[in-house]
Amino acid sequence: MNYFIFKEQIFTVFLSASHLTAITFPSRVHDYVGGTEGDFKIYELNKKRSLVIEPKRKDINRNFIVFNQKGKYHFNIKYDDLNSNKDIEIKEAKKCNIYTLIKSMPSFQLFDCPKSILFVNKLNKSQTVNGSEIQHKMYLSKGPPVYLNGKMIYYKGVLK
């Protein structure tokens, strides 16, 4: 699955005990930090462009940072058998002008773009989307789940 990521945004990766999760980055990983030794085991592969994560327990919910030559990626690692990821390829997200409406609700609109998601806030107050306060509109990373006020509303092309 492709994840189009804006580097300033935090995204979520779900793990499962039934399979390993591979994350491939656009360039070589120089370092990473997060979690504890009892949370998961990490294998470096593909000339250090890929990290393969093997969970060691089910109650994982950790922040994780990966550093490469172009900057760093911030994400959360969570255990979730139902929503788990197997293969993720990280690509650069981009704002766009061509988008299609995914969902329109009284409080927001969600639009799909080729390399990002557009969230439009329809309220007169800010809303928290993926940990960021949004007043009017914001482009979001595409691929990872979209959380509105702590509740998942969109993931893997499906409204929740």
Residue 36, pLDDT > 90, answer no
Structure tokens at 93: 């997200």
Amino acid at 19: H
What are the start-end ranges of the H helices in the chain? none
Name all domains of the chain by residue range, CATH numbers in brackets: 2-92 (2.60.40), 100-159 (no CATH)
Q: How many Å from the N-terminal Cα to the C-terminal Cα in the chain?
A: 19
Cα 138–140–141 angle (5° rounding)? 165
- Average the pLDDT over 130-154 and give the result: 96
What Å distances lie between residue 77 and 63, 101, 127, 143, 152, CA to CA? 6, 29, 23, 15, 15
**H or E stretch covering 121:** strand 116-121
Mind listing the pLDDT tens digit for each residue in 89-141?
A: 999 999 999 999 999 999 999 999 999 999 999 999 999 999 999 999 999 99
Residue 37, pLDDT > 90, answer no
Asked whether the whole model's pTM tops 0.85, one would answer yes
Cα 76–110–21 angle (5° rounding)? 30
Mind listing the pLDDT tens digit for each residue in 39-77?
A: 999 999 999 999 999 999 999 999 999 999 889 999 999
